Amino acid sequence: MSDRIHTLSGYFYEYQKSVAEPENFWARIADSFHWKKRWDKVLKWDFKGPNVQWFVNGKLNITENIFEKNLFAYGDRVALIWEPNDPNEESKKITYKELYHQVCQFSNALKSKGIVKGDRVIIYMPMIPEAAVAMLACARIGAIHSVVFAGFSSTALADRINDCEAKAILTSDGNFRGNKKIAVKAVVDEALEKSSVETVIVCQRTGQDIEMKSGRDYWWHEVLEGQEDHNVAEEMDSEDPLFILYTSGSTGQPKGVVHTTAGYMVYTKYSFENVFQYAPGDVYWCTADIGWITGHSYIVYGPLLAGATTVMFEGVPTYPDAGRFWQVVEKHQVNQFYTAPTAIRALQAYGTEPIEKYNLDSLKVLGSVGEPINEEAWRWYYTHIGQSRCPIVDTWWQTETGGILVSPIAGITPTKPAFATLPLPGIQLCIVDPEGNELTGNSVEGNLCVRFPWPSMIRTTWGDHERCKQTYFSTYKGMYFTGDGVKRDHDGYYRILGRVDDVINVSGHRMGTAEVENAINEHPLVIESAVVGYPHDIKGQGIYAYVICDMTHRTEENLVNEIKDTVSKIIGPIAKPDKIQIVQGLPKTRSGKIMRRILRKVAEGVTDNMGDTSTLLDPEVVNQIIEGRK
């Protein structure tokens, strides 16, 4: 491939070119795709609106770029290897040609149910090939998919259905997770009591008993009956939305990040090929769930656009035992392996024995994503999984960025533990102080911004453009603000320090503290709550909740358990607080603002030197909180 970086000097050369002539740089990359009509202008933008358009007036369909463009060249190549939850069940291999026919057939089925271009379709499914088929079938007919992680509760699902006014839901009868069966369809039914959706299509996975509402619910295999396995892909504009993905921010309601067609397509393929240095014939495996952006960009779209063989894994790292990942690596001869620091730390706790049973010689590149990787986990990953010979790509990016922005190029950029190293060509980073002054030069620390658009950036938040503007483009003038703190060291390398806003990162999942507080406050005996993150050995950050309650009717233990259940019910088990401390009061300023800085310190275990507490309304509250610390 011509736009592939092969050397370090090549990287620097491309980087310079991408800054000096961004439009030429991206036009050259975009030219390798199939366009029904080429664009008129590469880029139109202002960050004030914000209004960003890439490949203006171009017409295309992303699935044609996965399938039709390449079927002659490699139709018989394996596109997807599916590895089930239970190692005794057979894995599946699906070629590009087979996947193409499945996507066409299912997209015809969607059309037969009245789903048309622009309609929103929620995908609430386990990690089975049909989930990828569902996404691609939506893209094929121009329906906007919104995948909701299947661990979210019915309330969280209903919020998302309502926010995007979904017309259909694609789901399964149940999910396997380790040795458990999860009743997914029941969650959908409950969510639909609070929202209206015309069509539910249910894929059979576990075979468990479910209710099917006539006139609304259809079996997946039945809607496929009689559908042709080919069709003509819908013509989409470059800037037509491809999908919405909900993510947490510092306010209570998750926001629907909107990605559009052409820019997302160009950037995910470009970043996938370069970062992982994927070579034809390689087997690539990303362990994320398709409910998160990593699953969108680097299980489905990026790899498939690049003609890669991508592994999709239904299970969990520790079932049936802590060697499961390594068994799958050996079984499918995985070459690139991409996972999250929380999984690495969890497996590290089992020692090296589960690894020693398997041959990991196929591995060439290791990846990390989702949260800062601590040095110890990095070294363990490098030594025991990569056998001290595989480069680690520590990839920094966000739901909003669509693709990886900062990362080593595997085997080319010299790495340093815990550093995401350098921006990809095309990405113009900027570090600012809290007032928005740019910190130039090396050895600086501040907030991470991007000063120039890149093709896969967020375009808007669904139904509320102002929110997109306020959240990302208003803090610092003329820049996209990431919400992350960063350090640039003496070599110019970037090290991400974590969120500087009220977002916490629990096992690589983003959680707004306000969202968790809102859920806690739903418990009828809760008067007020404040949630902060604290360092957690495995999860990276844990959730620490300070709660004021009416204690007259319950014991503390009962209340704590009830509050945990409430959060689980309203958001999902991933948001359950790790620690709940019942308090008499919260440290507030005279103007009524909670001083989270103090709460964070107590949660971290600091018991003296609380910093400036002169603005506190009642300093005694702090002592009480320290005494009751969990």
Binding residues vs ligand WTA (CB under 6 A): 247, 292-294, 368-372, 394-399, 420, 482-484, 496, 498-499, 505, 510
- The CA distance from 18 to 260, in Å, is 21
Neighbours of 436 (CB within 10 A): 15
Task: Give the nearest distance from C-beta 457 to ligand WTA in angstroms.
Answer: 13
Instruction: Report d(CA 216, CA 198) in Å as an integer.
Output: 6
In this structure, what token pair is assigned to residue 503? 């977002």
Q: Which is nearer to ligand WTA, 200 or 432 (CB)?
A: 432
Toward ligand WTA, which CB reaches closer, 61 or 401?
A: 401
Q: What gap in Å lies between CA 251 and CA 573, rounded to an integer?
A: 20
Please, which residue, 53 or 271, has the CB nearer to ligand WTA?
A: 271
Degrees (nearest 5) of the Cα angle 415, 419, 424?
Answer: 75
CB count in 10 Å sphere of residue 474: 15
As measured in angstroms, the least distance from the Cβ of 490 to ligand WTA is 20
Q: Distance between CA atoms of 392 and 407, rounded to whole angstroms?
A: 9
Nearest distance from residue 393's CB to ligand WTA, in Å?
9
Residue with Cβ nearer ligand WTA (260 or 566): 260
Q: Which long-range contacts (CB under 8 A, 24 or more apart) does 194-199 make?
A: 194/154, 194/155, 194/158, 194/162, 195/158, 195/161, 195/162, 195/166, 197/122, 197/161, 197/166, 197/167, 197/168, 197/169, 198/113, 198/114, 198/167, 198/168, 199/113, 199/114, 199/115, 199/167, 199/168, 199/169
Tell me the closest approach of the beta carbon of residue 481 to ligand WTA, in angstroms.
11
Q: H helices then E strands: how many in the chain?
A: 21, 30
Residue 67 vs 292, nearer CB to ligand WTA: 292
Nearer to ligand WTA, 295 or 577 (CB): 295
Of 630, 616, 619, 531, nearest to 575 (Cα)?
Answer: 531
Residue 320: asked if its preceding bond is cis (omega within 30°), the reply is yes
Query: 294 vs 348, which CB is nearer to ligand WTA?
Result: 294
Element spanning 488, H or E: strand 480-488
CB of 499 to ligand WTA, least distance (A): 5
Smallest distance, ligand WTA to C-beta of residue 101, A: 31
Compute the half-sphere exposure of residue 613: CA atoms within 13 Å on the CB side of its CA.
Answer: 17
Q: Which residues contact 591 (CB under 8 A, 6 or more apart)?
A: none
CB of 125 to ligand WTA, least distance (A): 19
CB of 81 to ligand WTA, least distance (A): 23
Q: How far apart are CA 221 and CA 547, in angstroms?
A: 48
Between 212 and 574, CB nearer to ligand WTA: 574
Measured from the CB of residue 313, what is the shortest distance to ligand WTA in angstroms?
Answer: 18
Nearest approach, Cβ of residue 498 and ligand WTA (Å): 6
Instruction: Name the minimum Å distance from CB 418 to ligand WTA.
Output: 8
- Residue 240 vs 394, nearer CB to ligand WTA: 394
HSE-CB at 509 with a 13 A cutoff on CA atoms is 26
According to DSSP, the β-strands at 255-260 and 579-582 are unpaired
* Helix (H) / strand (E) containing 527: strand 526-536
Task: Give the separation between CA 438 and CA 478, rounded to whole angstroms.
Answer: 12
Q: Which positions ≥6 away from 327 have C-beta within 8 Å?
A: 87, 357, 358
Q: Are 99 and 147 in contact (CB under 8 A)?
A: no
Q: Select 176 or 396, whichever has its Cβ closest to ligand WTA.
A: 396
DSSP classification of residue 300: I
Residue (458 or 621) nearer to ligand WTA, CB? 458
Task: List the structure tokens of 221.
Answer: 């295999």
Least gap, CB of 435 to ligand WTA (angstroms) = 21
Of 426 and 540, the one with the shorter C-beta distance to ligand WTA is: 540
